[in-house]
A and B are shown apart, each in its own frame.
Chain A
């Protein structure tokens, strides 16, 4: 976390995560009011924390890519690809789990590497490149799964790895919540404390100037794509271990959900602005809305309406806060 120079209200309002924090408070109060005590109870909290954790692990690297001015939607098929890879190796072929996990992560890294190299070599917008790999990887996952196992769903039983990747703590909290917290701390350090973070912001602000300032923009771009690919594969394999099975089509919803979380979290779509803490809050907001609806008397179909309105509201609010940050001039001391 970057420390704030002064803890005045004005300084807080100028931070990128302010909008998402207010949004989270609003939806939380809304569902506490309509969902009753169940929503905020430990069991209720577990339902949205579990959703947030899985989404959050992918959303943060996606957010970093967006801050750097790129986009990665191929995660939508890297998640099931990671899931299937792990399940086929450690379930279908019954090899040790660490091979399955390693292979899934390696697959995510390779797809990320391909995304990154295509983006820097062809100068095609990353949305199009990753749209291509999204379909290509989805096709390959389906094709190989049917070819190897003859089915689109593979069971995997690995009790020895459950405690690390697919267990419930106190019976309700997925262990991925802790991975999410770890990931958030790690990425906060990268983006806000290490010099690399400055490079990521600079790349999203003006790529040519960043390159002229000596930042290895191409290497950074490839690395960020590799990280998002590996994070997506991680979510996939942890789902497989958690649910004891993997399906070939289990990740498409993550594409938009992660982008919504990132944008609600205060990241500028065109790059150069945002924070990891904001993305975490945006993810929580999304999870609270998508799960909170079940605690209310409303039909769950209305959840998407709330998310849509929330997204537009968050973008408008974030624009306002960003303008405040831009127009900020320090007052003379001792006026």
Chain B
């Protein structure tokens, strides 16, 4: 098996006296999808921010290709090929597809002070990149991003990351706000990115979505990795239980059921 592209070794992060992450060790390889599962407040966002250079670890190390790395800012991480796509795609609703695709790296034509943004080239490259990922409905680079569906926006953002040579793709809850069909589109693109040899870190709290694409799973509870396993080693119920904090899910279900039971008994009397 190849060496991991990105590796976290015993990473801790605290904000003042508050420990947010304890001893996180993770690794992700090329052509592999690592699913980070966790309930709200488990530390998923902090972990993403550590990997994308927004925060720096309090202790522990981040390695890329076996060499220790330090990301002082998001730009440094991006330069090393770590791309983060946020829940709403991180795109600009009132910009055209071509323009938003090339924000910060605009293609130009002309010379000297008269360098002009090259709309045609930008639109053509952007549309081609999205279509290569299987979103064939996008054909006009002049369309505004805000007119795309949530899934298409995610796809555009992923296509952008792939086009600009990302090696590690961090997807922050890409399917959380999407319907079933849209989510399927995004999951298909995650698979496509994986097939192209990207290392994908897929953050979600939807176990179904994680199981559809994941090779490797890590469950985060209160800032620590509660479980780390590979595809097929655990069932959906087991993972859900883990995310909810061990056996408590079964208890919770029992609790809800008993509450419903009481309600059913009470309701006729009230009416």
Contact = CB atoms under 8 A, between A and B. Distances in A.
Given A206-B90, A213-B103, A330-B143, A194 B95 contact: no
Contacts of B142: 5
Contacts of A3: 119
B111 to A, nearest CB: 13
A268 B92 CA distance: 14
Nearest to A16: B94
Interface stretch (A112-120, A304-312, A320-328): A320-328
Interface residues of B, number: 30
B236 interface: no
B91 A214 contact: no
B147 to A, nearest CB: 5
Contacts of B108: 195
B92 A202 contact: yes
Given A273-B94, A328-B147, A202 B116 contact: no
B144 interface: yes
A198 B144 contact: no
Nearest to B52: A212
Contact of A202 (B86, B100, B140, B147): B100
B94 A272 contact: yes
A149 interface: no
A174 B100 CA distance: 40
A8 to B, nearest CB: 12
B78 A212 contact: yes
Contacts of B144: 325-326, 328
A215 to B, nearest CB: 5
A225 interface: no
A201 B104 CA distance: 11
Contact of B104 (A5, A193, A215, A272): A215
A5 B94 CA distance: 17
Interface in B94-134: 94-95, 99-100, 102-106, 108, 115-117, 119
B93 A194 contact: no
Contacts of A328: 143-144, 147
B34 to A, nearest CB: 22
Contact of B94 (A215, A268, A330): A268
B74 interface: yes
B104 A194 contact: no
A330 B140 contact: yes
B75 interface: yes
B182 interface: no
Interface in B230-265: none
B95 A202 contact: yes
B116 to A, nearest CB: 5
A209 B93 contact: no
Nearest to A211: B74
Nearest to B105: A214
B25 interface: no
B139 interface: yes
Contacts of B140: 330
Interface in A230-268: 268
A205 interface: yes
A187 interface: no
Given A205-B94, A272-B94, A194 B147 contact: no
B197 interface: no
Contacts of A193: 116-117
B146 interface: yes
B83 to A, nearest CB: 10
Contacts of A210: 92, 103-104
A217 to B, nearest CB: 10
A326 B147 contact: yes
Most chain B CB within a 10 A radius of its CB, from A194, A268, A327, A328: A194
A2 interface: yes
Given A214-B105, A272-B92, A198 B117 contact: yes
B93 A326 contact: yes
B147 A199 contact: no
7 contacts: A202-B92, A202-B100, A205-B93, A212-B74, A272-B92, A326-B94, A328-B147
Interface of B: 74-75, 78, 84, 86, 90-95, 99-100, 102-106, 108, 115-117, 119, 139-140, 142-144, 146-147
Given A197-B117, A198-B106, 14 more contacts: A5-B142, A194-B117, A195-B106, A195-B108, A198-B95, A199-B104, A201-B92, A205-B91, A209-B92, A213-B103, A325-B147, A326-B144, A326-B147, A330-B143
Q: Which 8 A-B residue pairs are closest in the complex by CB-CB distance?
A: A205-B92, A195-B106, A213-B104, A214-B104, A273-B94, A330-B140, A209-B90, A272-B94
